[in-house]
């Protein structure tokens, strides 16, 4: 499997879905579609003056559920994720530790991607510099190669409308995204945006104030509760987030991987 496609699957499993409708109905925020889109994009978009995004780091637990169209079965997984959003000087960094059903580590420092499945005693090591290089990727010009990288510019890569339900019972906004350019992997994408994050954005005067100097003291609302990806066959992958913490200090060593002794290193052939 090509590394880009694999990265896309991992990230798209990251952000879309339906939040269980258990909460009582709440009053609507006086916000339109563009407000909801801006709440997502501006959280990850580097400031033109400082080069730093308001949302600098994220840690969260995740639950992933995949269903295969036409088959009476689903696959579930859970784990913990960490990521540092890209700035104008540093690439996107991330780490996904899968706990169940199998342990797996997917780690990138923005230059190298490690995919380690302990059961196989094998780690796949790939050069992702062309994908995540902040000096060559221009969000106003280039289409993102993966979902996390594309969060500051989802409106450029997707046609976005409210889903038919618009909001869930808790008042969270449900966006329906259709790729502007056809892709083999994605037919539809759904993002659930928390009501509180949109409310915070609207009440701030629809501006995103950079909080990078307050890392460790002030959290920035994480604008995604869940994501669901639907492919052209009708199969879906849902990922939900909980126990989210933002703008806390994360060491760069968290985004590096030391190959354990006796583990085989596999490097995919370069594409020419």
In a domain, 136, yes or no: yes
In a domain, 149, yes or no: yes
Q: What is the domain extent for residue 114?
A: 3-20+29-266
In a domain, 272, yes or no: no
How many domains is the chain built from?
1
- Which carries the bigger pLDDT value, residue 28 or residue 79? 79
Pairing of strands 93-100, 104-108: antiparallel
Quote the pLDDT of residue 50. 77
Indicate the average pLDDT of the chain.
81
Write the DSSP assignment of 93-117 as a string of letters.
Answer: EEEEEEEESS-EEEEE-SSEEEEEE
In a domain, 189, yes or no: yes
In a domain, 271, yes or no: no
Convert the pLDDT of each residue in 225-257 to its tens digit.
Answer: 999 999 998 899 999 999 999 999 999 999 999
Pick the closest to residue 199 from 221, 166, 177 (CA basis): 221
In a domain, 122, yes or no: yes
Q: Mean pLDDT throughout 189-217?
A: 73
In a domain, 157, yes or no: yes
Q: CA-to-CA distance for 20 and 120, rounded, in angstroms? A: 35
In a domain, 99, yes or no: yes
- Give the pTM: 0.80
| Token reading at 116 | 């380690």
44 alpha-carbon distance from chain centroid = 10
CATH classification at residue 227? 2.50.20.10
């Amino acid at each position: 499997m090509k590394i880009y496609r694999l990265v896309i699957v991992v990230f798209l499993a990251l952000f879309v879905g339906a939040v269980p409708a258990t909460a009582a109905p709440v009053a609507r925020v006086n916000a339109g579609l563009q407000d909801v889109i801006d709440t997502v994009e501006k959280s990850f978009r580097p400031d033109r003056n400082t080069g730093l995004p308001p949302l600098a780091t994220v840690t969260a637990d995740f639950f992933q559920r995949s269903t295969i169209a036409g088959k009476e079965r689903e696959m579930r997984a859970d784990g913990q994720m960490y990521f540092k959003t890209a700035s104008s000087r540093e690439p996107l960094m991330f780490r996904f530790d899968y706990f169940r059903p199998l342990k797996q580590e997917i780690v990138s420092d923005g230059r190298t991607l490690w995919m380690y499945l302990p059961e196989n005693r094998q780690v796949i090591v790939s050069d992702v510099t062309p994908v995540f290089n902040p000096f060559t990727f221009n969000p106003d010009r280039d289409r993102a190669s993966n979902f996390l990288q594309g969060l500051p510019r989802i409106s450029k890569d997707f046609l976005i409308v409210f889903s038919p339900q618009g909001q869930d019972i808790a008042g969270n906004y449900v966006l329906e995204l259709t790729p502007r350019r056809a892709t083999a992997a994605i037919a539809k994408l759904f993002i659930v945006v928390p009501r509180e994050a949109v409310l915070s954005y609207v009440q701030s005067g629809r501006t995103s104030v950079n909080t990078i100097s307050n890392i460790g003291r002030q959290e920035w609302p994480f604008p995604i509760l869940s994501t669901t990806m639907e492919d052209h066959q009708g199969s879906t992958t849902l990922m939900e987030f909980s126990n989210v913490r933002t703008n806390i200090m994360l060491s760069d060593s968290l985004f590096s991987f030391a190959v354990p002794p006796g583990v085989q290193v596999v490097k995919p052939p370069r594409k020419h």
